[in-house]
Structure 1
Amino acid sequence: MSVLIDQPMWPAHGTLWCHLVSDSSLAELHAFAAANGIPRRGFDLDHYDVPERLHATLVAAGAHPVGNRDLVLRLRSSGLRVSARERAARTDPPTP
């Protein structure tokens, strides 16, 4: 059971962002995020979006730094990954 964090490389809102995931459970992920002051609004179905300024703090708190590809592979292996198709179905309004 691990909380994983990738490298900040996703630009938005004037900063770089990284992803925080669990390779075992969403409960573990939410608990880690809450314990480290990450707001629930940063959660996006299977991960938290985290600003670059928090990366070192989260690593010091126990998040394991991994490469971007490894993060996705481990998230898929855990069964927690939400596919692009599932993501679209959850966010698109139903068609009349």
Structure 2
Amino acid sequence: MIIIDPPAVERWGRLWSHLASDHSFEELHDFARAAGVPERGFDRDHYDVPSEWYAVMVAAGAVPVTSRDLVTRLRRAGLRRPKAVPAD
């Protein structure tokens, strides 16, 4: 299932959502490609999507979830790729 959290992350003067799959990266990339999300928006395990695209992604079939639920679903599916922690 393709999931999206509410636009809540501020960066570059905009709010952003995270678009992810709780099934596979293939499903995620196929959805993003079909919805016109640029490849450069992919970040480890999700696509960053600007707030003005949120309704478009939901209309295309992405299911709204909370940010916490999105991360939980990624972890359960074994798809979570957290940022590397720098060594001391």
Structure 1 stretches of at least 4 aligned residues deviating more than 3 Å after TM superposition: none
Alignment check: 8 A CA contact 2:22 2:74 kept? yes
Instruction: Determine what percentage of the aligned residue pairs are the same residue.
Output: 55
The residue that corresponds to 2:15 in the other structure is: 16
Aligned residue in 2 for 1:6: 5
Look up the match of 1:25.
24
For CA contacts below 8 A with separation 6 or more, give which structure has more relative contact order: 2
Question: Aligned partners of 2:34 and 2:51: how far apart in 1?
Answer: 18
TM, length-normalised to structure 2: 0.93
Q: Which structure carries more strand by proportion?
A: 2
- 1:13 offset after TM fit, Å? 1.2
Q: Quick check: 1:55 aligned with 2:36?
A: no
Q: In structure 1, list runs of 5 or more residues that go unmatched.
A: 90-96
Q: Deviations over 1:3-52 (max 9, x none)?
A: 00000000011110010000010000000000000000000110000000
Tell me, in whole angstroms, the C-alpha distance in 2 between the residues paired with 1:23 and 1:30.
12
In the aligned structure 1, how far is the partner of 2:53 from the partner of 2:2? 14
Query: What RMSD in Å do the two structures reach over aligned CA positions?
Result: 1.2
- Aligned residue in 1 for 2:63: 64
Bigger Rg, structure 1 or 2: 1
- Answering whether residue 40 of structure 2 is matched by residue 41 of structure 1, we say yes
CA distance in 2: counterparts of 1:43 and 1:49, whole angstroms: 6
Shift of 1:84: 2.8
Whether the 8 Å CA contact 2:44–2:82 is kept in 1: the answer is no
